[in-house]
Structure 1
Amino acid sequence: MTDEEFESFMKKAQAFYDTQANESSEETDDSSSSDDSDDDDFPSIEVHSGD
């Protein structure tokens, strides 16, 4: 994948993410509760050193 292809893909991905975020924020009036649940959808990645 070239740099140009990668940048194009990332722009599409960002546009898609923005669209999804806008749709989900419009569905609920209480945005603070939806923000709290976002952590469950994307668990953090743990990095372990070789120690």
Structure 2
Amino acid sequence: MSKALSFMVIGAIGAATAILYMQYKDDIRYRMHQIKQAGMETINKVKATME
């Protein structure tokens, strides 16, 4: 019984995650782009100081 309950909870969490992702997809993409840009700027600064 506990195994079935744990699978149901995992399924509910997965469904909730999918719904939230679908609602905030554009915002998530924009924030990920910002994080990648900040990371690339940091990498470029480190490269510039090493040269």
The two structures have a TM-score, normalised by structure 1, of 0.52
After the TM superposition, list the runs of 4 or more consecutive aligned residues in structure 1 that deviate by more than 6 angstroms: none
Match of 1:34 among 13, 31, 45: 31
Name whichever structure is richer in helix by fraction.
2
Structure 2: segments with no counterpart, 5+ residues: 36-51
Shift of 1:10: 0.4
Larger Rg: 2
Q: Which residue of 2 aligns with 1:24?
A: 24
Structure 1: segments with no counterpart, 5+ residues: 37-51
RMSD: 2.2
Relative contact order higher in (CA < 8 Å, ≥ 6 apart): 2
